[in-house]
Amino acid sequence: MILFLNFAILVFAVDEALRHPYLAPLHDINEEPVCPSPFSFDFEQPSCTEENIKELIWKELVVFNPDP
């Protein structure tokens, strides 16, 4: 017998998640400021080519094994 379960995927915003009963004991509105605008994480998204990635890996390897 095969059992298929259909789970609904729930996506919450942070403020909605903090209002959930599971997190209620950890939630203190006075200690949780709200950011007025979304963060920009552009600095974490460098455009990497295959050659850039190879170079980064090589530099990391040299750090741990500087002798050729």
Specify if 36 maps to a domain. Answer: yes
Total number of domains in the chain: 1
Tens digit of pLDDT for each residue in 14-34? 778 888 888 888 888 788 777
How big, in percent rounded to 5, are the helix, strand and coil portions of the chain?
45, 0, 55
Split at pLDDT 50, 70, 90, the class of 54 is very high
Q: Is residue 19 part of a domain?
A: yes
Predicted structure pTM score: 0.34
Is 8 a member of any domain?
no
4 assigned to some structural domain: no
Instruction: Assess if residue 47 is contained within a domain.
Output: yes
Nearest residue to 46 (alpha-carbon basis) of 55, 34, 58: 55
Residue 34 located in a structural domain: yes
The range of the structural domain enclosing residue 58 comes to 14-64
